[in-house]
Amino acid sequence: MSAVEATTENAAEGKLQAMAHDSVKTVIAASMVGTAIEFYDFYAYGTAAANYFPHIFFSAKDNPTVALLMSLLTFAIAFIARPLGSLVFGHFGDRMGRKTTLVVSLMTMGVGTFLIGCLPTYNQAGVFAVAILCLLRFVQGIGLGGEWSGAALVATENAPEDKRALYGSFPELGAPIGFFLSNGTYFLLETFNDSDAMLAWGWRVPFLLSAVLVIIGLVVRVHMEETPIFRLAQEKKQVVKAPIVEVFKKSWKQVLQATFLVAVTYTLFYTLATWSLAWGTKEQGEGGGGLGFTNQEYLLMLMIAICVFAAFIVISCVNADKWGRKRVIITSSVLLVVFAALFPFLLNGQIVGQRNFFANMVFLCVGFALMGTAFGPIGAFLPELFDANVRYSGSGIGYNLAAIVGAAFVPTIATWLSSHWGVHSVGIYLGVMALCCLVAVLSCKETKDVDFTK
């Protein structure tokens, strides 16, 4: 490095340190709240799609399995919309800043979720009700398309260099928080209401309550500072006019790497949280595995296992700062291949019998431990793959393409596979996704020590 380059770099570093930073508490709240709402919204919808929407928006009487599959297909709509949202919000996030974009994405996401709770049923409005449900699900997806990448940048662009993965865990921790809140809401509702009440009005409550989380998130984000790295890019006139074009022109390889790094975490999450809920609680003729659990029992097991998820997010991020992102994700990918081969034995009623809480908790806890290990470092790893002036767009596009590849049709595919070829076919599906992640991470360079200001 020449003396001039070194002087310029030192000056930029000094200016970055001198810029106003949000407090750690503000960074945690601003980055965590959006992901918490994202997973709250998506899991509230996933639970409703698995348990209530087949009866409310589709005819479950004629063919319960088909009604379940149709309901789960509406779950996929938001994932298809998310890359479009990442293009829109990524453009403005890299042009105007992280703060304004995150406020708008949160409002878009919140309005879509709240209005789902106000919808008429199929019996009240016929096909119109299903059409509006699909439209609102699409709006949800547009808002969510700009959420994660912006939240990850708020965390990592405010982080000390040696703690980027730890700070990157803040938005990742929103996932178990949102999951726990959604599950807890359904658990309480089902404790005090019978199935008729849940079908009549109870299913609406989680969607309506999301407004509280959105308001809290908006208050926090309106008062936060723009990230220092984006302000530095503005001062150095590095902001580009067409970040999307720049991403696909110079960083298309990183977009592909990001997509397959994240895809397996989505596949694993919705296998654990949405497909397994239907498999554990429904009879074989209804798309389930006939394991004999009640919905409440399964929700309680999921709420316990989600605490393991949260713990392993933090553990993996500490290790990623110490040993590097690649080493942690390579380890999780290899272990996921092993898990994919073994977990079907824990969910096979002919082997473990009905209502085997021990076998099911082993499946959930080990699965969520591996989920936390794979998901944690992503909050730092993905932004580090891209330059500062296209970081919002690049990481957002990769993350949301992963939502299509890894999540959009997971409940539907897994339900179809398990109903035709048994639970072991779901293990093969997960194993293939884990191998794709392994190939992607092996093709990446280690990013722990990259200059994040460039």
DSSP secondary structure of 30-92: HHHHHHHHHHHHHHHHHHHHHHTHHHHTS-TTT-HHHHHHHHHHHHHHHHHHHHHHHHHHHHH
Q: Are 289 and 349 in contact (CB under 8 A)?
A: yes
- Which pLDDT score, from 0 to 100, does residue 60 have? 57
Q: Are 382 and 258 in contact (CB under 8 A)?
A: yes
> Does any domain span residue 4?
no
User: What counts of helices (H) and strands (E) characterise the chain?
Assistant: 23, 0
- Could you tell me which of 415, 444, 443 has the C-alpha nearest to residue 429? 415
Q: Are 322 and 309 in contact (CB under 8 A)?
A: no
- Structure tokens, 131: 């059409």
Q: Taking CA 225 as the corner, what is the angle to CA 219 and CA 227, rounded to the nearest 5 degrees?
A: 130
CA–centroid distance for 210 within its chain: 17
What is the CB-side half-sphere exposure of residue 356 using CA atoms within 13 A?
Answer: 18
- Which pLDDT score, from 0 to 100, does residue 407 have? 74
Q: How many residues does the chain have?
A: 454
> Does any domain span residue 348?
yes
Q: Are 396 and 256 in contact (CB under 8 A)?
A: no
**Amino acid sitting at position 108:** T
**Cα(194)–Cα(67) distance, integer angstroms:** 21
> Does any domain span residue 140?
yes
**Cα(74)–Cα(138) distance, integer angstroms:** 9
- Could you tell me which of 202, 347, 200, 206 has the C-alpha nearest to residue 281? 347
> Does any domain span residue 432?
yes
Q: Return all residues near 147 (Cβ < 8 A) that are at least 6 apart.
A: 34, 35, 37, 38, 89, 102, 105, 106, 109
- Which pLDDT score, from 0 to 100, does residue 247 have? 86
Helix axes 64-95, 127-145, angle to 10 degrees: 40
Q: Count how many domains the chain has.
A: 1
> Does any domain span residue 451?
no
**Amino acid sitting at position 56:** I
Q: Are 116 and 4 in contact (CB under 8 A)?
A: no
The DSSP code sequence of 163-226 is: GHHHHHHHHHHHHHHHHHHHHHHHHHHHHHS-HHHHHHTGGGHHHHHHHHHHHHHHHHHHTSPP
> Does any domain span residue 317?
yes
**Cα(106)–Cα(220) distance, integer angstroms:** 11
What is the domain extent for residue 126?
A: 23-226+251-443
Whole-angstrom CA distances from 229 to 19, 24, 100, 245, 384 are 9, 16, 15, 21, 13
Q: Describe the chain by its helix, strand, coil percentages, rounded to 5.
A: 85, 0, 15
> Does any domain span residue 2?
no
**Cα(194)–Cα(321) distance, integer angstroms:** 48
Q: Specify burial of residue 345 (Cβ count, 10 A radius: 0-12, 13-18, 19+).
A: middle
- Which pLDDT score, from 0 to 100, does residue 301 have? 94
- Structure tokens, 399: 């993350």
* Per-residue model confidence as pLDDT tens for the chain (454 residues): 444 344 444 444 544 444 445 567 788 888 888 888 877 887 788 888 878 888 888 865 667 777 777 887 887 788 888 888 888 888 887 887 778 888 888 889 889 999 999 999 888 888 898 899 999 999 988 888 888 888 888 888 888 888 999 999 998 998 899 988 998 999 899 889 998 999 999 999 999 999 998 898 888 888 787 777 777 777 777 677 778 888 888 889 999 999 999 999 989 988 998 889 888 998 887 778 889 899 889 989 999 999 999 999 999 999 999 999 999 999 999 999 999 999 999 999 889 989 999 999 999 999 999 999 999 999 999 999 998 888 888 988 998 899 888 877 787 788 888 888 989 999 999 999 999 999 999 999 999 988 887 7
The DSSP code sequence of 295-334 is: HHHHHHHHHHHHHHHHHHHHHHHHHHHHH-HHHHHHHHHH
> Does any domain span residue 176?
yes
Whole-angstrom CA distances from 134 to 61, 115, 118, 137 are 22, 12, 14, 5
CATH number at residue 120: 1.20.1250.20
